[in-house]
Amino acid sequence: MMGTQPAPETHSTNPERRGVKKGLYLIPSAFTAANIGMGFYAIMSALRGFQFVGTGVEGDLLRAAVYLDYAALAIGAAVVFDMLDGRIARLTKTTTEIGIQLDSIADVVTFGLAPAVLVYVWGYGASLEEGSGLHRLAWFLSFMYLMCGAFRLARFNVQSSRPRVLAEGTVKLDKKSFVGLPIPVAGGLIAAIIHFTPVPLVYYGPDRAQIYAILLMVLVGMLSVLMVSTLRFTSFKEVGTGSRSMRTIILAVAFFMLIILYSQYVLLALATTYILYGLLSRAVGFFRRRGEVGESTVEAKQV
């Protein structure tokens, strides 16, 4: 009978598709949650290591090095999670405002607070006399590192939501580059240095430890300034999206194997090379523009 024909099932798959779509939104958030988890683990490991650093005994310092190394590796793993959550969100088109804000909060914890605590425990805590001018300066620099990182993330969020020029002197957003040193790179460099030599600085004696602590303070101050600067650093967001994606995958696998085999050297080399490349490329561009302006001025005078 015509009246008993079953209704078409064209709408039965829609709820399932919507469910799959909703499930995709959880994937980037899961990587962001892992990022926060690594930051929390790094802070707890650093605090645990500080308990052994305070004794000053050689055996306890070596035990502290194990916890500090775990904290540094956790920050390194968080860098990978931070890279994946954004890329997966763009590939699956599941970017949300909540996800952007959550990612920034995670970065403040993992690449701002955790490295600030870790570098104090590993470098400043026992190397500088407590209450001295250098010790207070170390506190200040660690705090400014955290503040500069938070400001850099806030500026990035504002520029991402409003990509046009916000005010006079504000740099327009460029997807190919970051404005200011990314905070994961700054925190990653600190973690890579500690992973390279996880034994606390106080292990090397009071005189050498103080010299190393001062050099470390200079580095932390430089990283803070670079994060709030307007220098541009390559974002690598377009890597792997073109026709050479297969080569990118092969290189990524090769780097992954090198990190597993020679993590102490490769991680430090990657972070240092990224920062130096950004600084050198900006310096070359600056002098090149000055040369072009000088040549145009000479030609104008001759005319």
Q: Could you tell me which of 222, 213, 237 has the C-alpha nearest to residue 275?
A: 222
Q: Name the fold adopted by 24-232.
A: Four Helix Bundle (Hemerythrin (Met), subunit A) (1.20.120)
pLDDT score recorded for residue 246: 67
pLDDT score recorded for residue 113: 95
Structure tokens at 195: 């992973």
pLDDT score recorded for residue 17: 47
pLDDT score recorded for residue 260: 83
Digit-by-digit pLDDT tens for the chain (303 residues) are 444 555 555 454 444 445 555 556 677 778 888 999 999 999 999 999 999 987 778 889 999 999 999 999 999 999 988 888 777 766 766 666 777 788 888 999 999 999 999 999 999 888 888 888 899 999 999 999 999 999 999 888 887 766 544 444 555 555 677 888 999 999 999 999 999 999 999 999 888 999 999 999 999 999 999 999 988 888 766 555 555 556 766 777 787 788 888 889 989 999 999 999 888 888 887 677 666 655 555 555 555
Three-state SS letters, 151-220: HHHHHHHHHHHCCCCCCCCCCCCCCCEEECCCHHHHHHHHHHHHHHCCCCHHHHCHHHHHHHHHHHHHHH
pLDDT score recorded for residue 175: 63
Determine the Cα–Cα distance for residues 267 and 78; give it in Å rounded to an integer: 13
- Sorted by where each begins, the domain ranges of the chain are 24-232
Structure tokens at 255: 């780097």
pLDDT score recorded for residue 129: 85
pLDDT score recorded for residue 292: 60
Determine the Cα–Cα distance for residues 277 and 153; give it in Å rounded to an integer: 22
